[in-house]
Amino acid sequence: MLTTLLLAHNIPVSGSIIKQPKLAATLTQLGRKGHKGFYQGEVANNIISDLQKAGAAWTPQDLNDYKVIERPPIFFKYKGSSVTTTPPPSYGGVALHQALKAIERSNTSDITVKKSTPMNIKTEMPTNESEAFMSQISIIDQWGNKASVSLSMNMPFGSAFTSPTTGILLNNSLAKFTASPNSRSEIDVIEPGKRPQSYMTPTLIESSDSLTIIGASSGKHTSTTLLLTILNYVDNASASQKATLEAMGHNAQEQQQKHSDLQIVHSNRTKGRIEASSSPTGGGQAIVR
């Protein structure tokens, strides 16, 4: 993997162009032949050969047996807005759906900034940076086509192994399983053919006058990050709370939340305006053109 990203055996400087012709050829095959162009034929045989040379126990049958499953997204309404998000094996969409529906049904009339609200909160350990690594693409084009796409290697460089003949970097999702045969949940035990759980939760929020495309990479806190973002967007929670506090004589100042990576594209259909934002703590870009 390292040699693929080096230029003349040196770490490339910002702005350098890194060419990966073998990966380009593999992606061309995938684009032309689809599933068979990757999981069967020359590309599959080369991946298996490279892995076996490195000591792995993979066989061509392992790739041939893998099937890509297209699942319908989770779709629900929240206070007049339509929310489209990710189904299992990602549990982020399920968690987001349950949380927003619980909030929508809850009686929050007794919650006010004028007094404290009793809560029982357990402090969690900080998210490990490797858990939070996820590539996110939020995009809308001039014709109104939109997409929220999440890709995950689970670690910054996955398993840190690149197939030399194909340029494919292998991911590492074994962290989602347990190696203990005494696990309380059979779902968590490593077995052939199982699909790992995922934090990936690309989401679309649409109303009559706006569209927001959201994706976050915050590891196990991804659902929480999205929940807070949606509440601010749909309920305008931050603005209303700030106004109430200022009316009481307080000097309320907004604080930036440190998300690992939050990508947002917002389309205001009434004003014909599109805005994009990328969290400053991530390595992404926000571009409108």
Residue 82: is it exposed, middle or buried by C-beta count within 10 angstroms (0-12/13-18/19+)? middle
Binned at pLDDT 50, 70 and 90, residue 130 comes out as very low
Cβ proximity of 178 and 190 under 8 Å? yes
Q: In the chain, what percentage of residues exceed pLDDT 70?
A: 75
> Does the pLDDT value for residue 208 go beyond 70?
yes
The overall average pLDDT reported for the chain is 78
Confidence of residue 167 (pLDDT cuts 50, 70, 90): very high
Provide Rg for the chain, Cα atoms.
22
Domains located in the chain, CATH noted: 1-68+157-197 (no CATH), 71-107+128-152+198-289 (3.60.20)
Q: Render pLDDT for 250-262 as a digit per residue (tens, 0 to 9).
A: 776 665 555 556 7
SS3 219: helix
Q: Is the pLDDT of residue 249 over 90?
A: no
**144-161 per-position pLDDT tens digit:** 888 888 877 777 777 888
Return the axis-axis angle of helices 92-105 and 222-234, rounded to nearest 10°.
40
Q: Is the pLDDT of residue 122 over 60?
A: no
- Whether the pLDDT of residue 276 is over 90: the answer is no
Q: Residues of the chain with pLDDT > 90: what percent?
A: 18
Rounded to whole angstroms, the Cα distance separating 99 from 117 reads: 19
Instruction: Determine contact, residues 112/245, Cβ cutoff 8 Å.
Output: no
Give the Å distances, CA to CA, from 85 to 69, 160, 183, 260.
16, 30, 30, 20
Confidence band, pLDDT 50/70/90 cuts, at residue 129? very low
CA–CA separation, 28 vs 34, rounded Å?
A: 10
Of 104-108, 139-143, 203-207, the least confident = 104-108
Mean pLDDT over 171-199 rounds to 74
Using alpha carbons, list the distances in angstroms from residue 244 to 104, 113, 117, 122, 257: 21, 8, 16, 28, 21
pLDDT given at position 164: 92
| Poorest-pLDDT segment among 69-73, 101-105, 224-228, 249-253 | 249-253
Decide: 203 and 86 in contact? Cβ < 8 Å: yes
User: In whole angstroms, what is the distance from residue 7 CA to residue 31 CA?
Assistant: 28
Helix or strand holding residue 82 (H, E):
strand 81-85
pLDDT above 50 for 128: no
Q: Is the pLDDT of residue 54 over 80?
A: yes
48-62, 85-99, 123-137, 173-187: least confident range: 123-137
Lowest mean pLDDT, pick from 40-44, 181-185, 248-252: 181-185
pLDDT band at 188 (very low <50, low <70, confident <90, very high): confident
